[in-house]
Amino acid sequence: MGAIGNGGKVYSMHSGNNIDTAISDGQNQVESVSMTSARHGDKMSYDRLFLESAHCTDSHIFPLEKFDQWFKEAIQRHRFRIDQISFSELIKWSFTAAGSLSHDSGRFFSIQGISVNTSYGSVPHWSQPIINQPEVGFLGFIVKRIRGIPHFLMQAKMEPGNINMIQLAPTLQATRSNYMRVHEGRSPTFLDYFRDPSRRRRVLVDVLQSEQGGRFLRKRNRNMVVEISSEDLLEVPQDYIWLSLGQIQRLLRRDNTINMDARTVLGCISFHRFGFDAGDHLNESASNIAHPLHTMDEILTWFTERKCQYDLEVQPISLDQVAEWQRDDHRIYHPSGDFFEVIAMRVEADNREVTAWTQPIIKPCKHGIIAMVAREFNGVLHFLVQAKVEAGNFDVVEMAPTVQCMTGDYRRHRDNWPPFLDYVLNAPTDSIYLDTLQSEEGGRFYREENRNMIVWADDSFSMDIPDNYKWISYTQLKNLIRFNNIVNIQARCLLCCIPPGLDGTGRLQKV
């Protein structure tokens, strides 16, 4: 499968024969597959639809050779301005008597303090600022068949914290305050396709998923994919573009191109019929070889035990009571230089629902690293995941990547490195299957990017792992993502970078 790299190595991830038919032989072969799949309305065709789109790695509708020029023009045709300001210059935002930084409407989000006590990890108590945004927003893709191939509608979306100012976002990306028009601006484009059940559509993905547990307090968004008729939306605004899933996965090999809100929804897509163990795949040949290391019952028992093992007590406190953190008129910060800062921004953007506003935003102090270690067992792709406690988790623990270092300077604290970080950082070049810089959500985080990696474990990798780690197959993780509060956003965003093989399961294979 072809891929686009932006510095570093480029690999293909698939199983079986070469499936890059969309480039080498045109779209005829891929389109012929779509003709044999179940038609609109057949609930068992979800996996086929996504597979067809993923195997179309380029499209006559919008060839990727045109992407860079289109992206450049999307930036140039709009006016953007971002300025850091003091807290006192914020409009309709203030520090409240309760000690939080909040909007006068009581909506949008607030920055508040929390006090944390836990039995997890080496630090049993701390306090910190955190984003409290109890609203459930929409993150959604519209999909439709164009010339027989399912295409996803993406938008070039400006966010104040975006690296490159604009990144590719899902069709709809809207908080409840935004789509309820608390800002008194325009309603988000295409909102009705996700809110209005009377519209002709087929819901392919619909699940509440968590946001970053270290930065958000129990935040969740509704992740959706809806299919519409091929006769609908014959024209879209110029900042929107139809791409196949295969094209999107090629763009995921680039740094800071597909935003986090798109990646989390893409991570919810499954390429196989929903099942929990061997035997429930697209074909018999796949079921005959798919024997994961652990059954789903064993995995759920392990996960439940971790929830019961670890205590997590989170209490709201005033920002003034957050220990060690300091505040002046320009930032809230930790004097060590670790973690993050809270700053204030003035934003102007002529293509947003409101063209000017001010807001607080989180500014990271250091780049982080997010990595999955992968290995095959019984011919089946597995990932080493951890049951990780974070202060903002909805239900104590979630399944996280093998390595997730986002809040502190891991380079400076080598004596306290988490398990497997040393292995990932020192992995041989030929064992690194993904190595990109990806941004966090630009509406709440200012130019935050983290190194995203998938590393292949060789035979020297020890099977002696800590109790809060587990080898889980690609298929099992994809099935677990059907449910909320299990697989965290960092893991979902890594999994979305793995194209499926012909049988809908994943397998890492170098080009």
Instruction: Give me the CATH number covering residue 489.
Output: 3.90.79.40
Phi, psi of 287 (to 5 degrees): -70, -25
| 444 contact partners, CB below 8 Å, separation of at least 6 | 109, 131, 133, 161, 215, 216, 361, 362
Q: Are 347 and 373 within one domain?
A: no
- 181 pLDDT band, cuts 50/70/90, is confident
Q: Are 424 and 490 within one domain?
A: yes
The answer to whether position 95 is within a domain reads: yes
Backbone φ/ψ region at 165: left (φ over 0), alpha (ψ -120 to 50), beta: left
- pLDDT above 90 covers a percentage of the chain that reads 76
Q: Kindly compute the dihedral angle of the four CA atoms of residues 411, 452, 472, 271, in this order, to the nearest 10 degrees.
A: 170
| 137 contact partners, CB below 8 Å, separation of at least 6 | 173, 174, 175, 176, 178, 179, 221, 222
Longest dimension (CA), the chain: 66
* Average pLDDT score over the chain: 87
> Structural domain tally of the chain?
3
**Contact of 61 with 242, CB cutoff 8 Å:** yes
The 3-state DSSP class for residue 334 equals coil
Query: Do the strands 356-364 and 166-169 form a parallel or antiparallel pair, or are they unpaired?
Result: unpaired
d(C-alpha 238, C-alpha 254), whole Å: 22
Predicted confidence at residue 502, as pLDDT, reads 61
Q: Are 263 and 302 within one domain?
A: no
The answer to whether position 487 is within a domain reads: yes
HSE-up of 456 (CA within 13 Å, CB side)? 17
pTM above 0.75, yes or no: yes
The answer to whether position 13 is within a domain reads: no
Q: Are 141 and 260 within one domain?
A: yes
Q: Kindly compute the dihedral angle of the four CA atoms of residues 106, 107, 111, 117, in this order, to the nearest 10 degrees.
A: 90
- 253 pLDDT band, cuts 50/70/90, is very high
The answer to whether position 144 is within a domain reads: yes
Predicted confidence at residue 322, as pLDDT, reads 98
The answer to whether position 386 is within a domain reads: yes
Domain membership of residue 322 as a residue range: 80-123+314-364
**Contact of 362 with 444, CB cutoff 8 Å:** yes
Predicted confidence at residue 10, as pLDDT, reads 33
Per-position DSSP letters for 239-279, written without gaps between them: TEEEEEHHHHHHHTTSTT-B-HHHHHHHHT--SS---SSTT
Say if residue 355's pLDDT is above 60. yes
d(C-alpha 78, C-alpha 25), whole Å: 38
d(C-alpha 377, C-alpha 457), whole Å: 11
- Encoded amino acid at 83, one letter: D
pLDDT in tens, 212-236: 999 999 999 999 999 999 999 999 9
Say if residue 4's pLDDT is above 60. no
Predicted confidence at residue 5, as pLDDT, reads 35
Say if residue 473's pLDDT is above 60. yes
Window from 6-20, 31-45, 179-193, 288-302 with minimum mean pLDDT: 6-20
pLDDT in tens, 368-398: 999 999 999 988 999 999 999 999 999 999 9
The 3-state DSSP class for residue 7 equals coil
Tell which of 267, 300, 333 closes a domain: 267
- 508 pLDDT band, cuts 50/70/90, is low
Q: Which residue, 110, 201, 148, is CA-closest to 33?
A: 148
Residue 124 parent element (H or E): none
Q: Are 299 and 433 within one domain?
A: yes
Structure tokens at 486: 């299990």
Window from 192-206, 282-296, 301-315 with minimum mean pLDDT: 282-296
**Contact of 223 with 33, CB cutoff 8 Å:** no
- 409 pLDDT band, cuts 50/70/90, is low
Q: Are 104 and 219 within one domain?
A: no
Q: Kindly compute the dihedral angle of the four CA atoms of residues 49, 54, 57, 63, in this order, to the nearest 10 degrees.
A: 60
What residues form DSSP beta bridges with 110?
A: 102, 132
Window from 59-63, 413-417, 446-450, 489-493 with minimum mean pLDDT: 413-417
Distance of CA 119 to the CA centre of its chain: 28
Structure tokens at 198: 């009377």
In angstroms and rounded to an integer, the radius of gyration of the C-alpha atoms of the chain is: 22
Q: Are 115 and 157 within one domain?
A: no
| Mean pLDDT across 130-137 | 95
Window from 178-182, 429-433, 501-505 with minimum mean pLDDT: 501-505
Q: Which residue, 271, 264, 241, is CA-closest to 64?
A: 241
The answer to whether position 130 is within a domain reads: no
Q: Which residue, 58, 11, 94, is CA-closest to 510?
A: 11
Q: Are 386 and 471 within one domain?
A: yes
d(C-alpha 57, C-alpha 43), whole Å: 25
Q: Are 372 and 360 within one domain?
A: no
The answer to whether position 97 is within a domain reads: yes
Count of positions (residues) in the chain: 511
The answer to whether position 486 is within a domain reads: yes
| Mean pLDDT across 20-46 | 40
**Contact of 431 with 453, CB cutoff 8 Å:** no
Say if residue 461's pLDDT is above 70. yes
Say if residue 438's pLDDT is above 50. yes
Q: Kindly compute the dihedral angle of the four CA atoms of residues 226, 351, 181, 160, in this order, to the nearest 10 degrees.
A: 90
Q: Are 436 and 348 within one domain?
A: no
- 412 pLDDT band, cuts 50/70/90, is low
Q: Are 417 and 490 within one domain?
A: yes
Say if residue 1's pLDDT is above 80. no
Predicted confidence at residue 400, as pLDDT, reads 98
- 50 pLDDT band, cuts 50/70/90, is very high
pLDDT in tens, 77-86: 999 999 999 9
Residue 425 parent element (H or E): helix 421-425
Structure tokens at 509: 């294979």
Q: Are 370 and 353 within one domain?
A: no
Tell which of 238, 267, 296 closes a domain: 267
- 359 pLDDT band, cuts 50/70/90, is very high
Predicted confidence at residue 285, as pLDDT, reads 31
Say if residue 19's pLDDT is above 70. no
